[in-house]
Amino acid sequence: MDMTTHSTLPVDGLSSRCRSAAERIMDRCNDLAACTEDPTQLTRRFCSPAMVAAHQKLRHWMTATGMPTRLDPLANLIGRFDRSTSDRPTGQVLLVGSHLDTVVNAGRYDGPLGVLIGLGLAELLRAESARMPFAIDVIGFCEEEGIRYRTPFIGSRAVAGNFDSALLDRVDECGVSMRSAVESFRKTASDCVDTVGYDREKVVGYIEPHIEQGPVLEQESLPVGIVTAIAGQTRAAVRFIGRAGHAGTVPMSLRHDALAGAAEWIMQVESIGRRTPGAVATVAQMDVIPNVSNVLPGEVRLRIDARHSDNSTRHNLVSEVLRAGKSISEKRGLKFVVDWQEHYPAVQMDAALSTRLAAAVAESGVQPLSLVSGAGHDAAVMAGRFPAAMLFLRCRGGLSHHPDESVRADDVALALEVLVLLVYKLAAEFAPS
Amino acid sequence: MALSGLTIDYTRTQRELDRLAEFSSVSAPAVGRVMLSDADMAARDYLKSLFADAGLRVHTDPAGNVFARWIGAEPSLPAVVTGSHTDAIPYSGKYDGTVGVLGGLEAIRSLQRCNFQPRRSLELLMFTSEEPTRYGVGCLGSRLLSGSLEPSRADALLDESADAFSELRQRRGFSGSLSDVRLAEGHYHAFVELHTEQGPLLERDGLPIGIVTAIAAPAAIRVTYTGEGGHAGAVLMPDRRDALLPAAELALEVDRAARGSGSLDTVATMGLLQVHPGAVNGIPSRTYMEIDVRDVQLGRRDQVLSHIEELAMRIGARRNVEASVERINADPPAQCDPQIAATIEAACHDAGLQYQRMISRAYHDSLFMALLCPIGMIFIPCRGGVSHRPDEYSSPEAIGAGVEVLARTLAQLAEIAP
């Protein structure tokens, strides 16, 4: 990009500064990826020892940038960059962030990249020595993926003020409650000051940079895109219950094979998902009991994930899928149980903030493309309380939740540049004319 | 055959079963006796002392199989053999296998007590292990005896703590080369195994004896599908290479293949299915399955097996995921010898016991002994058809009935010394 065309802006040489900042961000993504529960692959769940290590690194980098760090009641890590104009203290704050937890055997960019871009933004602004009418809080959310406690967005729900404290009694697969996991985790960060929630009126907005996790930007040869809406999502846990038995001694005609029923249902979920335009429906988790080669499966537990940008289309899809489970079970002499369902409605991003983000993208010389996010994000939860916007970054092959997840440093540099331009734009609106 | 004064001391056999159950790595009433563990070694000492007390000549082979022989009038003739196993999976009970060893011993003692003089030698064989617990291979002893497992492969087997069978058996005093374990065809005249049914039929029909006509043999394959992971929200359905979908499709085909074989004796099971990465919002990138196919007819079983293998590949190709199919084992089913079955039948008549002919759907050491000599199997009822559980149970009287039929069968097969 040729920045000389933007010589009227206070951003001379910004591109090259963003490029070197992007290199540092890529290194830090690698550094954080070393904080894992399993040395053979990247897995960093909510409040795990790996998360303790990740927080230590992040706190160190934040402190080095002159950002005081805080830990909120659910172990979200927040670093504050405050260069507020001293003559006009506003108490206003712009939030930038994403999540620090990962799925099992994850890539290194989904989540942490957004936090590190936030930190990179603060570093760039610090170097600019610019005075701002608002502070910038870089937030590393503690939990977004829903792995450890089978419920996602714990971190952003806490910040957005819609965390149901009954969830604190939920236990993980080892029987550890969320309450005790958070308490032990917080003890590892005793140097951190506690924080309280945000006053809605004081928040300028929430910006989340995140990898696209889909193939559109790559297909369009664009480094970044603006998210207009986040698809609604339903997660449900179901069970097929049959009767276990010896794989040799129970004849086929007397079987109540829970796996056969589950298999038929999985095929149904696929076909219902495929014939609903714009929908995705996935069975990704499945536990066969007892899961031994010579024992007939007595029970199969599954989780389904269904998404669509239109709420009623999604609801219809989910009802159809659950009806299919029931009728398959009746046919096969099994019992079908729906243990729970969680619904996350489709969410629109803030139009005003997104318009400014699109303008910043255009200003950086890139065609502003709008996208719907199929994946859920903290931004969807934050949008319930604050103006929220999302900037997607292109990722190779649309791949994510996979160790081969890949992002180009050039694209990260561009995203940084967009955010610097956005911050100046927002700051200019605060300044007296 | 007239065996005047034949009596079975089943209370003694029960006492010996109870004592044997005390050699266990887990607390009673559960039993656990993994092959060549401390519990197994102590049990072997106890059993060998019982064999010696009965005047049997005891020797062991390099695999740890134990042979106890009552020398017949014509020692050069191929011997008649009975036996089973005494290893037990952790948290199982006291009857599976042990009934065939201690019952076999009592059968021999009962014949000795009524002054029966065998023409052929009578041998009690205790296989080194039947359960696959330690090395993942079932019937290790009888596989080596019959040559259905390469000695070098057996020696290279590793247990969970990476202890090789070659090392372990030497440490437990079973030295020598495993290639000396295999017996020649014709070495034995006949093999008869007494075992609990491990199924519900005899109890349901109120019958004391089952005469096994065939033993179903399992074949097992492992299938792996490798597709592409990705975000369950962001990757659209037509762009996916989900590894769980072909696995589900295959599970249905496994079920269909067995039902369509034309015989009730064909069973096929996908018992194990693992999904990676197993996160609710991550498209499955890899699935691993184990499929078990059994039948009493080799041709039919292999046809079903090949059909499943072929479908596994075809489904993978159609769904553009990488498929790998590997046979874990495919042992031939065994037919019991009709003459031995007739001999058992006659023994039931002599003992005044009702019986039925049946097939064994679980497999036993007899499956491999059938490669060496004609075989027969005698089943006795077990409570509720359960086995491999602490509450598995056969009454002393039921065991006594089985031992009597076994004794009469062995006597007939060994023939009276002229």
- pLDDT confidence of B67, banded at 50, 70, 90? very high
Q: Please give, rounded to a whole number of angstroms, the shortest distance from the CA of B325 to a CA of chain A.
A: 15
Whole-complex ipTM: 0.75
How far, in Å, CA of B274 to CA of B285, rounded?
Answer: 11
pLDDT for residue A87: 61
Tell me the per-residue pLDDT of B288-339, one tens digit each, with 9 for 90 and over: 999 999 998 999 999 999 999 999 999 999 999 999 999 988 988 999 999 9
Q: Which two tokens stand for residue B360?
A: 């064994």
Q: CB burial class (10 A; 0-12, 13-18, 19+) of residue A113?
A: buried
Global pTM?
A: 0.73
**Interface mutation vs chain B, best among A334, A401, A404, most B CBs within 10 Å:** A401
Tell me the per-residue pLDDT of B210-243, one tens digit each, with 9 for 90 and over: 999 999 988 999 999 999 988 888 888 988 999 9
Q: Please give, rounded to a whole number of angstroms, the shortest distance from the CA of A184 to a CA of chain B.
A: 25
Looking up tokens 């960059």, which residue turns up?
Answer: A81
Mean pLDDT of B391-400: 96
Q: Please give, rounded to a whole number of angstroms, the shortest distance from the CA of A215 to a CA of chain B.
A: 8
Cβ <8 Å between A401 and B230: yes
Residue B88 host element (H or E): strand B88-92
pLDDT for residue B331: 87
- The dihedral built from the CA positions of residue A330, A334, A339 and A343, taken in this order, carries a sign that is negative
Q: Reduced to 3 states, what is the DSSP secondary structure of residue B269?
A: strand
How far, in Å, CA of B29 to CA of B17, rounded?
Answer: 12
Beta-bridged to residue A240, according to DSSP, are A300, A336
Q: CB burial class (10 A; 0-12, 13-18, 19+) of residue B29?
A: middle
Residue B97 near residue B380, CB atoms below 8 Å = no
How far, in Å, CA of A116 to CA of A410, rounded?
Answer: 15
Mean pLDDT of B138-147: 96
pLDDT for residue B236: 85
Amino acid at B275: V
**Interface mutation vs chain A, best among B280, B295, B318, B321, most A CBs within 10 Å:** B280
Cβ <8 Å between B272 and A282: no
Q: Which two tokens stand for residue A430?
A: 């605060």
A96: phi then psi, degrees, rounded to nearest 5:
-130, 130
Chain A neighbors of B249, CB-CB under 8 A: 263, 267
Q: Please give, rounded to a whole number of angstroms, the shortest distance from the CA of B410 to a CA of chain A.
A: 28
Beta-bridged to residue B211, according to DSSP, are B357, B378
Residue pairs spanning A and B at CB distance below 8 A: 200
Cβ <8 Å between A263 and B252: yes
Q: Please give, rounded to a whole number of angstroms, the shortest distance from the CA of B313 to a CA of chain A.
A: 18
pLDDT for residue B387: 82
| Closest residue in A to B246 (Cα–Cα) | A267
pLDDT for residue A83: 83
| Closest residue in A to B260 (Cα–Cα) | A252
Q: Which residue of A152, A235, A292 is in closest CB contact with B271?
A: A292
Chain B neighbors of A250, CB-CB under 8 A: 267
Cβ <8 Å between B279 and A373: no
Residue A158 near residue A76, CB atoms below 8 Å = yes
How far, in Å, CA of B216 to CA of B361, rounded?
Answer: 5
Cβ <8 Å between B280 and A214: no
| Closest residue in A to B235 (Cα–Cα) | A214
Tell me: pLDDT of B274 over 70: yes
Given a cut of 70, the residues of chain A with pLDDT beneath it are 1-11, 85-89, 191-196, 431-433
**Interface mutation vs chain A, best among B231, B263, B290, most A CBs within 10 Å:** B231
Q: Please give, rounded to a whole number of angstroms, the shortest distance from the CA of A157 to a CA of chain B.
A: 19
Put simply, whether B319 touches A (Cβ < 8 Å) is no
User: What is the DSSP code (8-state) at residue B265?
Assistant: T
CA distances B148 to B144, B184, B192, B193, B229, Å, are 6, 12, 19, 19, 41
Could you please report the per-residue DSSP string of B277-323? Answer: S--TTB---EEEEEEEEEESSHHHHHHHHHHHHHHHHHHHHHTT-EE
Chain B neighbors of A396, CB-CB under 8 A: none
pLDDT for residue A431: 56
Taken as a whole, chain A contains a residue count of 433
Mean pLDDT of B152-158: 96
Cβ <8 Å between B277 and A266: no
Tell me: pLDDT of B412 over 90: yes
CB atoms closer than 10 angstroms to residue B184:
9
To the nearest 10 degrees (0 to 180), the angle between helices A351-363 and A409-430 is 120
